[in-house]
Chain A
Amino acid sequence: MRGRVGESLVVLLAIILMAACAKPSTQVVLMPDANGRVGSLEVRNAQGRQHLDQARQSVQVVGKDQGPGLPEVLSEARIRVDFGSALAAQPKPPLHFLIQFETGSTTLTQGSKPVIGEILQAIRERLPLDVSVVGHTDTSGSDDLNNTLARQRAEAVAKLLVEAGADPTILEISSHGKAVPLIPTGDQVAEPRNRRVEVTVR
């Protein structure tokens, strides 16, 4: 399992259309992600732009005829007032499961076999409407052959999930080819860890 959300940027964004204020306005607040890491944002319109790269840094735009104002760092308490409800409604982060295969085959490695049961458990708990079953390749060899194998592997995993009791209508099988490596490499690099199927339960 891999927490991609942990790598992601958390952005908190709001518009406050105040009844008392004639002009529409927008406030944008950059928040640290689940790992505490802080990404970056650009807020722009026709009049200008501002870059945000600090935790709880905020910028306000009032009307289309003015550019974004100067950034300021907001207190957590102030953020709670405006954004508490939106934050409380955040879905649980998706669950990621990694399945690996014997070289060149659609046979799961011994270590990956128990993952099927873990996925079933997650499906029972979350009752997802869509579960992605995605084959990935490394950058070695021909794209066509790699994609075919990645897709066959994804189909093999989907079959195991259905046999174990998953509803086939929620499974979405695809191949992302070499576009989303687990371990970034150059082109034409054999990297067994990148030849995998990832299952995402949302």
Chain B
Amino acid sequence: MRLREWQAGLLAFLFLGLPLSGGEGEAVGSLRTLQGPVFLVRGGVERTLTRPERLFEGDVLRTGAGGSLGLLLKDDTSISLGPGSRLSLDHFRFAPAQGRLGLVVRLVHGTMAFVSGLVAKLSPESVRVETPVATVGVRGTTFLVKAEEQ
């Protein structure tokens, strides 16, 4: 008897800890602003976005000519992109009670404005913005900046 797709997915999830499929699991945040051509690549499939929606780890956002977008992650990190940009939401963990914190995004090309949130405040060393030629380490609030300097 062949397993149906959802049964195989459920087994993979239960025994291997794999996500059920791209874009499921817990959302990491949501789009809040979008203008002009904006695209979402999820599970290898690109589609045009016309209204705000929830975002998941692994999502790639792209803006075309004249396009822009703004998103908020669940730790209140704010990220916005100008035209001709491509951003990958590589990693996000926000479970302070369990000590699981992390944020890694990759700006492949384009322009971005980034306002750090609680993950940077609680665990600055776990926040990184990567580009093809450099890595930006983001230091959070005054309190955590002092802890870093010690």
A interface majority secondary structure: mixed
Say if the beta carbon of B52 comes within 8 Å of chain A.
Answer: yes
Contacts of B83 in A (CB 8 A): 85
Say if the beta carbon of A13 comes within 8 Å of chain B.
Answer: yes
The answer for the CA separation of A101 and B121 in the assembled complex, in Å, is 26
Say if the beta carbon of B136 comes within 8 Å of chain A.
Answer: yes
Say if the beta carbon of A159 comes within 8 Å of chain B.
Answer: no
Q: Taking the nearest CB of chain B, how far is it from the CB of A86, in angstroms? A: 4
A-B contact count (CB 8 A): 191
Closest to B28 in A: A130
The residue that B80 contacts in the complex, of A39, A45, A68, A89, with Cβ under 8 A, is A89
Tell me the chain A residues, 24-60 only, with Cβ under 8 Å from chain B: 24-26, 28, 31, 33, 37, 39-45
The answer for the CA separation of A100 and B83 in the assembled complex, in Å, is 43
Of A15, A16, A17, A89, most buried by chain B (CB within 10 Å of CB) is A89
Contacts of B78 in A (CB 8 A): 5, 90-91, 93
Say yes or no: A42 contacts B96, CB within 8 Å. no
Q: Write out, one digit per residue, whether chain B residues 24-56 have a CB within 8 A of any chain A CB (1) or not (0).
A: 000101101111000000000000000011100
Say yes or no: B32 contacts A202, CB within 8 Å. yes
Q: Write out, one digit per residue, whether chain A residues 172-190 have a CB within 8 A of any chain B CB (1) or not (0).
A: 1011110110001000000
Contacts of A93 in B (CB 8 A): 76, 78, 115
Size of chain B's interface in residues, with CB distance under 8 A?
Answer: 56
Contacts of A202 in B (CB 8 A): 29-30, 32, 72, 76
Q: Taking the nearest CB of chain A, how far is it from the CB of B140, in angstroms? A: 6
Nearest 7 A/B pairs, CB to CB: A179-B96, A85-B82, A91-B32, A86-B82, A177-B97, A89-B68, A89-B80
The residue that A42 contacts in the complex, of B71, B107, B112, B136, with Cβ under 8 A, is B136
Contacts of B111 in A (CB 8 A): 13-16, 82-83, 85-86
Known: A13-B114, A15-B131, A90-B80. A41 touches B136 (CB 8 A): yes
The answer for the CA separation of A84 and B68 in the assembled complex, in Å, is 11
The residue that A91 contacts in the complex, of B27, B54, B70, B138, with Cβ under 8 A, is B70
Q: Write out, one digit per residue, whether chain B residues 125-141 have a CB within 8 A of any chain A CB (1) or not (0).
A: 00001011111111111
Say yes or no: A83 contacts B118, CB within 8 Å. no
Known: A4-B76, A28-B134, A90-B80. A129 touches B118 (CB 8 A): no
Of B52, B69, B78, B142, most buried by chain A (CB within 10 Å of CB) is B78
The residue that A13 contacts in the complex, of B117, B120, B136, with Cβ under 8 A, is B136
Say if the beta carbon of A7 comes within 8 Å of chain B.
Answer: yes
Say if the beta carbon of A200 comes within 8 Å of chain B.
Answer: yes
Say yes or no: B113 contacts A8, CB within 8 Å. no
